[in-house]
Amino acid sequence: MLTSIRTKMRIRTKLLILTVCTCTGLVLLGGLLWNASSVMGNHLEELSMQNFPAVRAAQDLQTSKARQRANLAYFVASRDERYLREYEKSKEQFNTLLAELGAYEQTDEGKALLKEISSQNEDYIHKADDVISLSRGRYGEDAFKTLEEALGALDDKILGLSTKIADKNIVRLKSRGADASNTGKLHKSIALAVPIILTVTLLGASLLLVRSISSALAGAVSMARDMQSGDLTVRAAVINRDEVGEMLSVMNSMAEHLGTVTGRITYNSASITSAAERLHVIAVETAQAAGQVSCQAGTIAAAGEEMAATSFEIARNCEDAAERSRQVGISAHDGANIVHSSIASLERIAQLVRQTSVSIDGLGRQSERIGTIVLTIGDIADQTNLLALNAAIEAARAGDQGRGFAVVADEVRALAERTTKATREIEQMILAIQGETRNAVNSMEKGVREVESGVGEAARSKDALQQILTQISALTGQVNQISCAAEEQTTTTAEINSNIQAITEAVAGTAQRADESVAVIGQLVGMATDLREQVRYFRTVPEAASFSVAVDHKAAKQVEQTGYMMKIPESEAACFANA
């Protein structure tokens, strides 16, 4: 039970109890010394205030009585009044000493002796008065006889009684001295034994306290050394519930928490590695997609150049057709031969218009393909933006380790937004081109119908030359419109080629950023691996260690599975080179 109480007791309480015990021992020792000094004081006071004065008073009483008798004898012998006065003084001194001795004497026996001395003294005074009277009446012999017989006997009794009182006080004086000596020795022994017992008790309690604290601190130091060496599985035994026990409990909790944190760091580093590998795959796919977009953009650029050449050819043909129409108008008055020539020219014009219509129709289909490709580019840009956002989120989870990758993700997202914007502009331009192309096709089809009508009219009647001239004039206007439309189409095609070139450059920049992202992700993987190696310095619980190894194995397997995707196909590399 005492051990249980001692282990539950706090150090502050132990020190307080030790201090209280020390103070109690000191107070006890002080009380004993005070008691000893009080007893010794009482004995000394009794000796100095009663026994010694009583002995001295008894001796002075004897001396006074002897002086009183001597003065009385001198008066009887010489009848000198001076001796009688001395006798009276001695008598008063005797009475004073007798009263003083009565004040010192406290025992019944002593008081009885003093009472008898007082009675004998009264008889002595009466006898002395008789002696004085006889001496004054010239009865010297009777006076001497009375002085020798009566007063001598009384004087001897008084001296005997005073001697008895003095002897009793001397005996009491010796007894009090012996009691004071014995009391002093007893208190001296107690005063010597109590400090020894108190010192031994306090030393034992101090040693127990120091031993309990030092053993607990030794366990704390051993645990701290093990933790310093990387062992987070060590735990200190908590025996006491004092401050040191609380410190050991806190250290155990700290070791457990550090083990948990270390396991989480291992898991997070493995998760970062896995996420970095996934980002690496995404970056490679982005580079591949950028290569495909670049190739498609090159194809679109070639188609645009062909469309521009076709538009230029259409414009030149339209100019030729206009020139021939003017010649037909001038030659219409020459006769049927010229009409036949006009019919032949109209047939050629119809053929050219049909070819132009077919070319413009092919241009419309190419524009639709360009629109489809632009939509694909927009989807790729949106996907790139989403991937960049996911990469930024993963980088934010990684903390300071993913700060560099967060910057790259922001740049990729900004580039994707610019690509989306450019794609929308291209889409609007392509929609405009498609509208113009549909208008040109409609115009070409209308021209074909008019030319066929003119050929029929010329074949049916040569007399309708005026109508033919009118139709040729209308045809000339339409051809001029077609020429203007072709010129506008050539300008629009040039703008499309310029925009496609810009798209190609942007896609090349995206591919370059993707390559940079691959490099940054490689650095991130290296840092995550280094973090895992540093965390492996600490030994944690077996479950956390096995979990860390499993995650590391999973990450390594992912790296092995995705490693072949680091290479870009040669066709896409050629597209990048051409871009």
Digit-coded pLDDT (tens) for 48-106: 555 567 677 777 877 877 787 787 777 777 777 888 888 888 888 888 888 887 777 76
pLDDT for 564 equals 36
Alpha-helical segments (H) within 234-333: 243-331
The DSSP annotation for 209-245 comes to: HHHHHHHHHHHHHHHHHHHHTTB-S--------SHHH
- Least Cα distance to 46 among 125, 121, 112, 105 occurs for 105
pLDDT class for 301, splitting at 50, 70, 90? low
CA separation, residue 248 to residues 222, 235, 255, 262, 497 (Å)? 11, 9, 10, 21, 77
Per-residue tokens: 94: 């005797």
Digit-coded pLDDT (tens) for 172-182: 777 766 776 77
pLDDT class for 24, splitting at 50, 70, 90? confident
Does residue 173 contact residue 52 with C-beta atoms inside 8 Å? yes
pLDDT for 39 equals 61
Digit-coded pLDDT (tens) for 551-577: 444 444 544 444 433 444 555 445 544
CA separation, residue 490 to residues 3, 467, 481, 495, 526 (Å)? 105, 34, 14, 9, 54
pLDDT for 51 equals 58
Of the ranges 111-120, 292-301, 541-550, the best mean pLDDT one: 111-120
Question: If you average pLDDT over every residue of the chain, what do you get?
Answer: 71
pLDDT class for 437, splitting at 50, 70, 90? confident
Does residue 277 contact residue 525 with C-beta atoms inside 8 Å? yes
Per-residue tokens: 404: 């560099």
pLDDT for 100 equals 80
**Helix/strand number for the chain, H first, E second:** 13, 0
